[in-house]
A = this chain, B = another copy of it.
Amino acid sequence: MTDTVISSKTKDVIIGFEQPFVVIGERINPTGRKLLAAEMKAGDLSRVEADTRAQVAAGAHILDVNAGIPLADEPAILAQCIRLVQSITDVPLCIDSSILAALEAGLEAYEGKALLNSVTGEEERLEAVLPLVKKYGCAVIAISNDDSGISQDINVRFDVAKKIVERAQDYGIPVSDVVVDPLVMPIGAINTAGRQVMELVRRLRNELKVNTTCGASNLSFGLPNRNGLNTAFISMAIASGMTSAITNPLHTEIMQSVRGANVVMGHDAECAGWIANYRDPDAQGSDGRGRRTNRRRRSGSG
């Protein structure tokens, strides 16, 4: 039983084996969104604000914030976005960049205990990111690829995850602050991609005792009706023990699948979240998580 606590100034969210599944909203990310990228680069963050409100209203528990725009001052923009988002919502954030300086600027700007996205098993990345995780007392997403790339052998992917967890421990970072992404491959190209994830999640949970996350929509890359396939996949990943995912909370099918999976897993006490959301089909209710985390409020734990 492992709980990973992610916090804003006033709110905790727990990623854990016996907790409702945590949805990390993926929308604040200019990758593949030309208009958003141009606006962010020009200092117009109105769409970031709208994406924040919409994702929180849709039920996201954590918001991923990425400012990866080519030829822009990513550290400054990321810090600015984080301050803006934290002024709008008390939902905790996931600070997302491939650039070390941006990760650090984000952590510097953030109030609370963030989830850092991400470290890999690559030596250079390990030795650059883990000291930051230790310094800021945040949690980190560990992606199970290394200098040799992404292995199709799940034993290798498991071993990479193990290496990252062990290296984190060398830095004094507890296992509970490492959330492993076993890597979801496109199933149109790799027929075993779904089983790989389900098997890896089980092993990561049973053997390494870590929480897990993934970019859920990678699975459906190149296929029609991606949303329909992602919807089936996310509940199956939850059945296998996955405890969070980076996905689009604005897709109502995805959120319904997550809420349904919480019921099936016995993580929605008396089905209160389900009933609140679907008693009146027009209502946008709570999912039962709010009440719990509110009871555990604490201030600035990062």
Please report A residues at the B interface, Cβ cutoff 8 Å: 187-188, 191-192, 194-195, 198, 219, 223-225, 228-229, 231-233, 235-236, 238-240, 256-257, 259-261, 263-266, 269-271, 274-275, 277-279, 281
Q: Given A236-B236, A261-B236, A266-B195, are A278 and B225 neighbors across the interface (CB < 8 Å)?
A: yes
Residues of chain B lying within 8 A (CB to CB) of residue A223: 263, 271, 274-275, 278
Residues of B within 8 A of A219 (CB): 264
List residues of chain B with CB within 8 A of the CB of A261: 232, 236
**Number of chain copies forming the complex:** 2
Chain B nearest CB: distance from A287 CB in Å? 13
Tell me which of B187, B224, B238 contacts A236 (CB under 8 A): B238
Question: Do B278 and A194 touch (CB < 8 A)?
Answer: no
A166 to chain B, nearest CB (A): 29
Q: Which of B191, B240, B257 contacts A270 (CB 8 A)?
A: B191
Main secondary structure of the interface of A (DSSP, over half): helix
Residue pair B225, A274 in contact (C-beta under 8 Å):
yes
Contacts of A256 in B (CB 8 A): 225, 228, 231-232
A160–B223 Cα gap in the complex (Å)? Answer: 43
From A219, A232, A236, residue with most partner B Cβ within 10 Å: A232
A195 to B256, CA, bound (A): 19
B192 touches A266 (CB 8 A): yes
Shortest CB distance A181–B (Å):
17
8 Å CB contact of A239 from B240, B274, B278, B279: B240
Q: Are A236 and B239 in contact (CB under 8 A)?
A: yes
Contact status of A228 and B271, CB under 8 A, knowing A236-B235, A236-B236: no
16 contacts between A and B (CB under 8 A): A187-B271, A194-B263, A198-B239, A223-B263, A223-B274, A224-B278, A224-B281, A225-B278, A225-B281, A228-B260, A229-B264, A229-B274, A232-B235, A232-B257, A236-B238, A239-B239
